[in-house]
Structure 1
Amino acid sequence: MPVKVSVIVPVYNPGPYIEDCVDSLLRQSLPPDEFEAVFVDDGSTDGTPARLDALAAEHPHFRVIHQENSGWSGKPRNVGIAASTGEFVMFVDNDDYLGDEALERMYEYGVANGADVIVGKMAGKGRPVPVELFRRNHPHATVENTPLIDSLTPHKMLRRAFLDRIGLRFPEGRRRLEDHVFVAEAYLRADNVSVLSDYVCYYHVKRDDGSNAGFQRFEPVGYFKNLREALDVVERYTEPGPVRDRLYRRWLRQEMVERMRGRRLLKLPEDYRKELFDEIRTVVVERFGPGVAPGLAPAQRIVAALIAADRFDDVVAYARWESGVAPKAAPSTVAWADGALRIDFSAEFASGGEPMTFPADGAPAALDGPPKDVAEAIALLGADTASRFDKATVDLMLRERSSAAQFFQPVEFTREIVPTGDSDSGRVRLVLRATATVDPATASSGAPLGAGLWDAYIRVKLGGWTKECRLGPGPWPGSVVGHAGVVAGRVVLPYWTKPHGGLALDVDRAGKRLGLGALGAADITAEGDRFRASLPLYVPGDTKALLRLTSPATGTAVEATGTLSADQGSGTVLEALLPTGTLQGATWRPALSLTPDADEARFLTLPLALRGAADGVHLVLPPHPGVVQLLARRTRRTVRRVVGAALGKMAPTLKARLRKKA
């Protein structure tokens, strides 16, 4: 069969970090005869060359090309393009990895939409990735109708014929931002670009040792020389006007202004801050016309104005103030209703840990030039934020802890202006009150939530800021929030994390925390062939369960299908018919599977036993845990008295040792 996709992996001394990449390629749902992996070893000096040769010998669809070190990723990628035979090429870095269905989904999506470029949803493991771009699928995306320009890393799938037709290749040599030059031109010259957002295709990983090339401090003059080449691409393929200004704004915002803000600036050495500032200012003055900066958020526009005016000290002072600004999101109610988890919360910004206040009569900031000082900048920003409160938004995202995959959840919210306690101050708080709905059946962009731990994050857009925070703290860190829900074939347990109390969801992993181990005589009945238990769970409707009875004496297991139904009170009732004839004359330990149709049904042991008899099944409950603990304490005291009397006249050191063991 013809090769659909050639995966090109530039490789240089990845060590063990390449293993996740390799494993993800071996797990692809696209059949091995429909794709190839081309590893281009750029003069690695570790054990990687031998490792790759062994892989190629074992897997016919893996190929390895060895070359002398070229200094950066551009040449290896170009060599991979030249060697590829696929209809599309996909670029993957050697320390990142793909989702298991990434190649198949991206290829089919691209073919269906006639795309020259396919952008797959990314998850950042310790690294930032675009958020707004991946809110939904964009089958026909352009730099005008979507924030495509926010994603300039090379980790895309591109039609090989398109690259050859326009002669597009990566800049080579030891340099930065070669991917910006390549991807920007691809966006601007493609017949169509498609964005696939309902499946995480690419996992962008920060190494544990922080040795990724993108995390190394760069030399400002060379870096911004390379950045100018990306701006040249935009100038070459766009006309002067709003589109060009919008594209330029991406580099002004991300590569310049954001480097001069808050903690990101303050953590840099002082001499390096100034060197970076000077080079940024040169580019700002040289390359950006009057239509670029006004489209920035107000907080960014202030920094851009201070940069253009050569006000380095004020940029640093403003960064110190802004480093204390952060959103806070307080949960109020977390409860199951109509098959979904409803989460009520409020969100606002804080400064120095206290709620921020704003002028009640705010007005849009007129920034014809830089503010005269930082105090004026803060006042301008506060007034502007209050005037734009009608455009403030809030989102709730679920982020899977191990993979960093994240998905937006439906949110309804209102904006509330809250007067401060001092009625004469003329100041107010700007509060967003929201209700998010998490449906486990659709929470992953229309698909069910996968097994794992999911943290709730709040994303607040208010005035000049777009920032994220955890939802919390909750009232009791480390505790569960109400009952677990058995919904859409998942067991979803809301809980507050330790030690900070952020809201999280445990999906199909919780065992003891479900509370089934605390069942007692009041919760369970067994009469004849009927078994009934009241369980601390939520179910939206009748749901199948599976009861497995195991004989401790023989290891024999018997299974009975049961039904979970919502109780009239709170919780759920489990009912099952037992095969009494099979159970007669033996003791059985029951375990319950709440999701019997899962690929691997998990069974949770119940704190009881059943005894089969001629007249049916009888319940055997263990002693209450408090009784067991009391008996254990009395036993220990008795043992100590007996041992103490027996020791008699032994040496004190030996007596102390024996007492400790007793």
Structure 2
Amino acid sequence: MKTITAQKESMTIATNAPKISVVVPAYNPGPHIEKLISSLLRQSLPAEEFEVIVVDDGSTDETPARLDELAAEHPHFHVVHIENSGWPSRPRNIGIERARGEYVFFADDDDWFGDEALERLYACATEHDSEIVVGKMVGHGRGVPRELFRKNRFGVTLADAPLVDSMTCHKLFRRSFLLAHELRFPEGRRRLEDHVFVIRAFLLASRVCVLSDYACYHHIRRQDAGNVTAVRMEPAGYYTNLREALDIVDRYTEPGALRDRLHRRWLRNEMISRLSGKPMLEAPEDWVAEVAREVRDIITKRFAPGVAAGLPPRQRAVAFLAERGRLSDLRTLAEWETGVRASATLDRRDLAGHVLSVTVSGHLLSGDRPVTFVEADGRDLLALPVPEIDPDRVDSTVEVGRAKMDLLAWRKETKEEIFLPVETRTERVGVPDGPPGAFQLVHRSTATIDFGTFNSGRTQGQWVLKARIHNCGWTMDVKLPKPVRIPADGTAPVVPAAPKPVSLRQRIRSRLRSLISR
């Protein structure tokens, strides 16, 4: 029996060490763990070349018996049973100590891998001699760092790639690197334990790779909120933990542009986002007020002026209002922002054999009105529905020049998305009923997809085109009509047949049947 109990001493490295150790903390996942198990059993990397270490954190459901059964059937699966620690950190740390692999990958018990993920991650790591490999993530009900996965990136650092956008631990780490720097997860019931571990690893690593041409890891938010961190956070403790991540950045960097850019990640993702749009409006008012107090304290006491100054104008405005405690204006801005959306039109669509060509135009709306800028004193200012904002905070001159629209292909079956090479331009179009100097930005992009070579030939499924508009702090998606279906890898696209029109008589009959059945 390979099931073992936790001990303090580390496992001696074996001469036949596997290439990868997959470490999985598990707590009452029930049937949700089956997708992970199935994906590990399907890996293209031979079973003798990797091991799976599942650390059962005192589960009270059927998980312990299921894991013991799995370990008995498959020699490369190992199970460690421990008393409940209440958080993933201790199981992950035990996994590091037990691991024998050259590399370690941390997975969650309800996520899953692409079939070739481990083989591709290991090949990338060894070819480029990297301490860390970030494999492309696909989000299912949760966000992933999409811009990071725009392209493959080999031998990069925090200084020259947007690695800081990826703060979860679902990555491949060289085990000797973890041991040499005593990299461990902070234990106990706390938040942002991933951030503390990952930001220190990024700062210590000399070579990091981003593998973006294959969907390696599927990251899920369960509908039953079963993830251990799914409950609403307690602001004081949360931002105390966030300050620990900032402390690590300060320890390894000097004051200046790099430190500001790294700090900006937490301002943008963990502070501004909670005081904006639906997240703010849907939260209890007392909770929002507590978050605003914590954010104001960090902005005024921890961040250099360049941190907020480097944000896009929409986010600079939120930071400005938060810094001054203007909760009412933050709420007004959040209400307006919930109406901001991308609108796009498919202007041209040609399908010839394997090749699809499209031209798309798009812009941002708030409700039924365009997101508007006003040219004043040689600057382009973002028009927002709150008074008395420092014009420097809404100065969009630089961002207007950078605004663009990407086109992406999204596969319905797997939720993976791929950036398409585009030719794009942006035009300033006047807003006739707006204030003097008012204009909106209209984007036009063209792309051609050869489904004979697209995605390295992995094309089977239904592909939907999406337009993604990047504009002054917003990144908004809109799906385009007329998806294509690829019956099998390498075959030509098929345009799904349009649904048959339903006559008025059929609609009336259907409605009557529905009423009668009630």
Distance 1:99 1:485 in 2: 20
Question: Could you say if the C-alpha distance between residues 422 and 263 of structure 1 is closer, same or farther in structure 2, counting changes exceeding 3 Å?
Answer: closer
| Contiguous gaps of at least 5 residues in structure 1 | 475-479, 496-512, 516-662
Match status 1:456 vs 2:471: no
Distance 1:322 1:225 in 2: 29
Match status 1:403 vs 2:414: yes
Secondary structure, counterpart of 1:333 in structure 2:
strand
Distance 1:155 1:220 in 2: 25
Secondary structure, counterpart of 1:407 in structure 2:
strand
Shift of the alpha carbon at 1:236? Answer: 1.0
Question: Could you say if the C-alpha distance between residues 277 and 485 of structure 1 is closer, same or farther in structure 2, counting changes exceeding 3 Å?
Answer: closer
Identify which of 60, 73, 76 aligns with 1:61.
76
Question: Could you say if the C-alpha distance between residues 300 and 172 of structure 1 is closer, same or farther in structure 2, counting changes exceeding 3 Å?
Answer: same
Distance 2:392 2:246 in 1: 31
Identify which of 332, 351, 360 aligns with 2:347.
332
Shift of the alpha carbon at 1:215? Answer: 2.5
Identify which of 5, 18, 23 aligns with 2:33.
18
Shift of the alpha carbon at 1:9? Answer: 0.3
Match status 1:195 vs 2:210: yes
Shift of the alpha carbon at 1:202? Answer: 0.6
Shift of the alpha carbon at 1:343? Answer: 1.2
Give yes or no for contact 1:441–1:449 (8 Å, CA) kept in 2.
Answer: no
Shift of the alpha carbon at 1:76? Answer: 0.2
Q: Which amino acid aligns with 2:400?
A: F
Q: Which amino acid aligns with 1:453?
A: Q
Q: Which amino acid aligns with 1:279?
A: E
Secondary structure, counterpart of 1:181 in structure 2:
helix
Match status 1:392 vs 2:398: no
Give yes or no for contact 2:374–2:435 (8 Å, CA) kept in 1.
Answer: no
Q: 2:477 maps to what in 1? A: 468
Q: 2:271 maps to what in 1? A: 256
Q: Which amino acid aligns with 1:375?
A: P
Shift of the alpha carbon at 1:354? Answer: 3.0
Q: Which amino acid aligns with 2:468?
A: R
- Quote the RMSD (CA, aligned, Å): 2.6
Match status 1:120 vs 2:135: yes
Instruction: Tell which deviates more after alignment, 69-78 or 269-278.
Output: 269-278
Shift of the alpha carbon at 1:411? Answer: 1.2
Distance 1:171 1:75 in 2: 8
Match status 1:418 vs 2:433: no
Give yes or no for contact 1:281–1:307 (8 Å, CA) kept in 2.
Answer: yes
Q: 2:513 maps to what in 1? A: none
Q: Which amino acid aligns with 1:441?
A: G
Q: Which amino acid aligns with 1:271?
A: D
* Residues 352-372 of structure 1 deviation map (CA, whole Å, 9 limit, x = unaligned): 1233343355754799xxx99
Secondary structure, counterpart of 2:333 in structure 1:
helix
Instruction: Tell which deviates more after alignment, 219-228 or 331-340.
Output: 331-340
* Residues 186-236 of structure 1 deviation map (CA, whole Å, 9 limit, x = unaligned): 000012111111111110011121222332101111111111111111111
Q: 2:368 maps to what in 1? A: 353
* Residues 525-546 of structure 1 deviation map (CA, whole Å, 9 limit, x = unaligned): xxxxxxxxxxxxxxxxxxxxxx
Secondary structure, counterpart of 2:318 in structure 1:
helix
Secondary structure, counterpart of 1:469 in structure 2:
strand
Secondary structure, counterpart of 2:94 in structure 1:
helix
Q: 1:96 maps to what in 2? A: 111
Identify which of 441, 445, 451 aligns with 1:430.
441
Give yes or no for contact 2:411–2:417 (8 Å, CA) kept in 1.
Answer: yes
Distance 1:400 1:269 in 2: 37
Q: Which amino acid aligns with 1:492?
A: P
Q: 2:152 maps to what in 1? A: 137
Question: Could you say if the C-alpha distance between residues 344 and 12 of structure 1 is closer, same or farther in structure 2, counting changes exceeding 3 Å?
Answer: same
Match status 1:167 vs 2:182: yes
Give yes or no for contact 2:27–2:57 (8 Å, CA) kept in 1.
Answer: yes
Identify which of 280, 283, 293 aligns with 1:265.
280
Q: 1:564 maps to what in 2? A: none
Distance 1:397 1:216 in 2: 33
Distance 2:434 2:324 in 1: 38
Give yes or no for contact 1:484–1:514 (8 Å, CA) kept in 2.
Answer: no
Note the 1:500-519 alignment, pairs <5 A: 513=497
Q: Which amino acid aligns with 1:374?
A: V
Note the 1:44-59 alignment, pairs <5 A: 44-59=59-74
Give yes or no for contact 1:399–1:406 (8 Å, CA) kept in 2.
Answer: yes
Q: 1:490 maps to what in 2? A: 491
Give yes or no for contact 2:35–2:112 (8 Å, CA) kept in 1.
Answer: yes
Identity level (%): 47
TM-score (normalizing by structure 2): 0.88
Q: 1:617 maps to what in 2? A: none
Secondary structure, counterpart of 1:345 in structure 2:
strand
Instruction: Tell which deviates more after alignment, 344-353 or 454-463.
Output: 454-463
Question: Could you say if the C-alpha distance between residues 423 and 394 of structure 1 is closer, same or farther in structure 2, counting changes exceeding 3 Å?
Answer: closer
Matched positions, count: 484
Give yes or no for contact 2:458–2:489 (8 Å, CA) kept in 1.
Answer: no
Q: 1:374 maps to what in 2? A: 386
Distance 2:158 2:410 in 1: 27
Question: Could you say if the C-alpha distance between residues 457 and 62 of structure 1 is closer, same or farther in structure 2, counting changes exceeding 3 Å?
Answer: same
* Residues 126-171 of structure 1 deviation map (CA, whole Å, 9 limit, x = unaligned): 1100011111111111001100000010101101111111111111
* Residues 306-350 of structure 1 deviation map (CA, whole Å, 9 limit, x = unaligned): 111121221111111122111111112111258421111101011
Q: Which amino acid aligns with 1:312?
A: L
Give yes or no for contact 2:333–2:384 (8 Å, CA) kept in 1.
Answer: no
Distance 2:177 2:489 in 1: 43
Distance 1:78 1:92 in 2: 13
Question: Could you say if the C-alpha distance between residues 365 and 174 of structure 1 is closer, same or farther in structure 2, counting changes exceeding 3 Å?
Answer: farther
Distance 1:378 1:211 in 2: 43
Give yes or no for contact 1:385–1:462 (8 Å, CA) kept in 2.
Answer: no
Shift of the alpha carbon at 1:407? Answer: 0.4
| Contiguous gaps of at least 5 residues in structure 2 | 1-15, 500-518
Q: 2:17 maps to what in 1? A: 2
Give yes or no for contact 2:52–2:78 (8 Å, CA) kept in 1.
Answer: yes
Question: Could you say if the C-alpha distance between residues 296 and 54 of structure 1 is closer, same or farther in structure 2, counting changes exceeding 3 Å?
Answer: same
Question: Could you say if the C-alpha distance between residues 413 and 221 of structure 1 is closer, same or farther in structure 2, counting changes exceeding 3 Å?
Answer: same
Secondary structure, counterpart of 1:493 in structure 2:
coil
Question: Could you say if the C-alpha distance between residues 376 and 324 of structure 1 is closer, same or farther in structure 2, counting changes exceeding 3 Å?
Answer: farther
Question: Could you say if the C-alpha distance between residues 244 and 23 of structure 1 is closer, same or farther in structure 2, counting changes exceeding 3 Å?
Answer: same
Ranges of 4+ aligned residues in structure 1 off by more than 6 Å: 378-381, 483-488
Secondary structure, counterpart of 2:206 in structure 1:
coil
Secondary structure, counterpart of 1:214 in structure 2:
coil
Shift of the alpha carbon at 1:305? Answer: 1.2
Distance 1:69 1:412 in 2: 54
Secondary structure, counterpart of 2:244 in structure 1:
helix
Q: Which amino acid aligns with 2:363?
A: E
Distance 2:246 2:378 in 1: 34
Secondary structure, counterpart of 1:302 in structure 2:
helix
Distance 1:358 1:290 in 2: 25
Question: Could you say if the C-alpha distance between residues 22 and 331 of structure 1 is closer, same or farther in structure 2, counting changes exceeding 3 Å?
Answer: same
TM-score (normalizing by structure 1): 0.69
Question: Could you say if the C-alpha distance between residues 295 and 34 of structure 1 is closer, same or farther in structure 2, counting changes exceeding 3 Å?
Answer: same
Note the 1:271-290 alignment, pairs <5 A: 271-290=286-305
